[in-house]
Amino acid sequence: MVAVAILAAGKGTRMKSSLPKVLHPVGGCSMVERVLNSVAGLTPSHQLIIVGFGQEKVQQALAHRQGLTFIEQAEQLGTGHAVQQVIPHLEGFDGDLLVLNGDVPLLRPETLAEMLRFHQENGNAATLLTAQFDDPSGYGRVFCDGDQVVTEIIEHRDCTPEQRQNPRINAGVYCFSWPALAQILPHLKADNDQQEYYLTDVVKDLSPVRAIDVADPQEIQGINNRKQLADAFAMLQHRIKDDWMMAGVTLIDPDSITIDTEVEIAPDVVIEPQTHLRGKTAIATGCRIGPGSLIEHSQIGANSTVAFSVISDSTVGENSRVGPYAHLRGNAVIGDKCRIGNFVEIKKATLGNGTNAAHLSYLGDATLGERVNVGAGTITANYDGYQKHHTHLGDRTKTGSNSVLVAPVTIGEDVTIAAGSVVTKDVQSDALVVARSPQKVIPGWRPKQQRPAAE
């Protein structure tokens, strides 16, 4: 049985932000949520979040997650003090406690699973996650014997020149036998210059304590400022894009592409340069996405193409074409074999299979049947200044260029709307609609300024 405590109480002064540090996003979700995701596979019996600065914002941001217990650390007096706050919440618990930092978002689930396995198989009282750096300057050093038993932890400033040659550093990730830690934790003292309670001080009173090195030192990078936030994002992107390319996805110019963690991409998808995939987006096989496109929280069906376009919270069917310069938003639903072309905006509208809107149109709050053809410049006038109204076009209906459909209005099947028409009333099926003023021609007319003086 394992419990997890995540330290998330700090303000993060160097972030220079009113947002708690752990809520800053990396690759589509906040740092603290990324840490929670990394332990989900361990099925912890307790998920304890130690909060302080901006605790209301942290709780609100994580309200959608089940099984979290928020514990206030009113004063931030060090890592040991933070873990002391969990004592009342683990009364009677006899498993292991994993202690993580909410601002270390790149830890892989596999790393934590391996750390827990190592801890339990060796019967450790405590296990430290460590890393070996080429340049460990500034980090506390961890000294071990040949059996990986920790003999000493020394802060960098207290190391001798010889001790500073040790490349193994403390990553700040711990696994404790809770019954052993619970005996020592209440007696922790703040005997240091900072007058803080350090969790590392319990190590000397526990036995055995072992260290396990992380395979990729990038995983333990903490974030304290915007530069480190950007560095972490770059590391995460490199990891994500490598994984997708190995899974059969073609990324043309990966450095110009960004992909969030929750995105799903099928094999044989081609992602063109300057394309960004956000949130819970899914791209089916055979698609070509980009260049220059943004897709967020949307689903793109098999063998569809999207070029120089923005798609948000929408669905595109199979074998459809979107763009260039199209904008789909607000739960737009595009059927199979559709064409959404240049400078077309679709908002909260459903288009049936085989329907085309090739250029310069706005379709909002509308339902279009199958094989509808939307002429250039067609718009649904859906807003009366107070409310949005719906437009319905039946199967195989065609609108002429520069048509205006004033909602609410229902157009039947197999209707042809003449170019330049303003349609304000419902139209039955199998009809031609001409709703425009008769053309009037005045021969010989000129503006007054251009008329001969005799006139």
Residue 389 lies in a domain: yes
The residue ranking higher by pLDDT, 267 or 191, is 267
Confidence tier at 12 by pLDDT (50, 70, 90): confident
Tell me what percent of the residues of the chain surpass a pLDDT of 90: 83
Neighbours of 348 (CB within 10 A): 18
Average pLDDT value for residue range 70-86:
92
Same domain, 203 and 264: no
Confidence tier at 355 by pLDDT (50, 70, 90): very high
- pLDDT for 454 beyond 70: no
CATH number at residue 370: 2.160.10.10
**Nearest CA-CA partner of 5 in 63, 117, 85:** 85
Residue 239 lies in a domain: no
Mean residue pLDDT across the chain: 94
CB 416 within 8 A of CB 433: yes
CA distance 433 to 430: 10
Confidence tier at 154 by pLDDT (50, 70, 90): confident
> For residue 193, what pLDDT is reported?
67
Question: What are residue 58's phi and psi, to 5 degrees?
Answer: -65, -45
CA distance 260 to 258: 7
Q: At what angle do helices 109-121 and 31-39 cross, to 10 degrees?
A: 50
Same domain, 175 and 286: no
Q: What tokens were used for 445?
A: 């007319």
Residue 325 lies in a domain: yes
Same domain, 216 and 273: no
> For residue 190, what pLDDT is reported?
72
CATH number at residue 146: 3.90.550.10
Same domain, 380 and 295: yes
Which residues span the domain enclosing 339? 248-433
Residue 441 lies in a domain: no
CB 98 within 8 A of CB 143: no
Same domain, 66 and 176: yes
> For residue 444, what pLDDT is reported?
85
Same domain, 113 and 252: no
Residue tagged active-site, from 24, 119, 327, 359:
359
> For residue 450, what pLDDT is reported?
78
Q: pLDDT tens across 204-251, in order?
A: 899 999 999 999 999 999 999 999 999 999 999 999 999 999 999 999
Q: What tokens were used for 333?
A: 């639903």
Same domain, 194 and 269: no
Same domain, 198 and 264: no
* Number of structural domains found in the chain: 2
Query: Any idea what the Cα angle at residue 300 is, between residues 296 and 304, rounded to 5°?
Result: 130
Q: What tokens were used for 4?
A: 């997890």
Tell me what percent of the residues of the chain surpass a pLDDT of 70: 98
The residue length of the chain stands at 455
Residue 210 lies in a domain: yes
Instruction: Mark whether 187 is an active-site residue.
Output: no
Same domain, 304 and 407: yes
